[in-house]
Structure 1
Amino acid sequence: MKFFYSLILILLTFNYINANCDCIPIGEPCEKNGESCQNFGYCGTPGTETSNNQSICVNRVNVGEPCFVNDSCYIGLYCYKKNSNDTKGVCSEIKYALNGEKCAKDIDCMSELSSCVNNKCTLRKNVNGCEDDMDCELASQICVNKICQLPAKLGSACTKRGDTCNRLEGFCASPDGGNDGICKKHFSLQEGEYCYFDYDYKEYQCDSSKNLYCNNINKKCQVYSYIKPNIESCDGLYQCNAHLNGTTAESICACGKCYEIQLVSSYDRKVITDLFTCALTNECSFSIPFTSKGCLATKCFKEYCAYYLIRSKFDSCGGLAAHLSHLKCDVNNSFKLLPSLSFLILLFIYLLF
């Protein structure tokens, strides 16, 4: 599946979580690229569609409030403009339904190839094939060569490049490191087996309960063993591991410093498994933004909130906390939010919505 949500499914945990990247306060000047605004604000110029040298960090707005771009709105909302030449719109909860799901009007349907017919998103009759997974009749289907089909089952043949496994169940594991393989469950690969590092769910492949992780150098599952970098500062993602002569990658460069990455914990595995299982059981798709009217919100809300709670450990600019608050998740029994490497998380998370 082509998940917009691939950025949220990164499960590396940082051992040292006391670093603060620069977080720009709301109302302060910012640049569009490379900076994070506090409380998940966006960098823009109020009253315009574009950012410029006078841009500032601005709070996002809720349903029914005026907007100029999608970034103006909270996650899961769109800046709806009635006419194509309109510059100003209204933050709206639209494009939340897949084919077969309930809708009130055409703009509620996620697929551009669908219309709302008898209160259900339906592929238009003149459509010749699918363009993306969201064009298919079922949330579980994937679009392959303009044809909607069910993904390969666990144990069946698959191709990594074609992304043909059901990613809520597992991934395509290749015994020789090539493109062809077998669909296997998450966290099932053992030491020495090839893993697919250029993959959204790379942290889900190796059996982390046995202290295994996917090595980005040799593309195999290996036992995790942290070796402290011999440099104080860094400016490249994998620069911290240069002293290891290409044998491993246990550190990552963030905010100009090297930080240890650790395995997915047993609790995190359970949270992720619960979310995937709920989505799979209820035919919910991860290829659409999370909205209060969507399948995930109505059928897997508890599991979705639990996932964001574990991600909140990496929240130094307040973005994930703001998202949790907007979703009205129950955070009373959650652990204390810790300052950390927000821009890394936002880099993977934001565009998914």
Structure 2
Amino acid sequence: MPSNYSIRGDVVWPARLIRPARPPSLIFLDMNHYINMAKVDVGTAPQGYRELRQACRTARADGRALFPLPSTLYMEMSNIRSYRQREDVVAVVEELSDFNYLVGRPQIMRLEIEAAIDALLGKDPSPEEGIPLVGQSALWAFGMRGGLIIKSEGQDAEQSLRNRLGDQKFEQMMAHLNREAERALLTGPDEDSESELRQGGVYAPEVPYQHQEQRAQQEREQADRFDQNPEWRRGRLRDAVSTREFVIELNEMIARELLARNMTAAKLDELLGGGKDYDKARQFTDGMPSTRVAVSLKEHYHRDSRHNWTSNDIHDIDALAVAMPYCDAVFTDAAAWNALKSSPGLEVFDTFLPRRPSELTHWLGNLPLP
């Protein structure tokens, strides 16, 4: 049966997620745009990317914009087989992002679940320590602090070296080493080193893709079920997608959160209407910003029976689930742009979605100075 449910008009923002003050505005760039801007130096960039790269540089240099990176960038970089091409792309990435990363979707989801349950209970937000949305390390995207540490057995090697060099020189040295480490992590090994690193078991960039492929296969299997029951695509498609998102992506995190609160699953079920008030359950998932984006994108792709699910769809959804609600502008690829623009429930975020490089160039030029 068709659903008469309207997506709620607001979301529950996680109080423990520390979003940076504006300016600078946060702009998310899809990998293909970094690649096209890197092509400017060799004269093969598509139309508009030379102007976009200069606009990004200017807005970054004068503090009007920052271009934080998603955790999925590592998988996308590994698809570039040429080490020289990876170096060229990383040079642009480094210039615009300064290796600042958005915290990953799992960490965002955990904070959103906390906030959503607090809202159900009518409680004030948790007093626990806040977590910044943006951190200056690749490890930050995976829920870790990042940064090099000097260690040695039997003594405080870092303090000893600091005493020898002085605070200023020590901090300069560590900043340089950390920058080199971030650059190397993202660029990956050159052709001569890759074989040796693979043999040693320390380099296997395809492993994350295997997990993403498993998740893509789950969506292909769901698409087959919709093919066998086409009435779902004409009716309560969002309900089906939202329920699967709850079970597959949220269920384990929710269970941990309930355990931490000494709260039973039965109590949560009661708060969500006990299986009788469907709107409460829908509003619970739609109230979490990243989950709303993920459900909206999956709903859009599942509505088209011809859509061929790939692992790229999965990591695009993971990246956009964070970028769409928490960044000021999102410049993605054509398919994702269409999905985002076609989802009315995402208008609540008021995120600028340029379609062409010239549109983002113009938008950047109009950003206010800090």
TM-score, with normalisation over the residues of structure 2? 0.33
Select the structure of larger CA radius of gyration. Answer: 2
Greater helix proportion: 2
Greater strand proportion: 1
Say which structure, 1 or 2, has more relative contact order (CA 8 Å, 6+ apart).
2
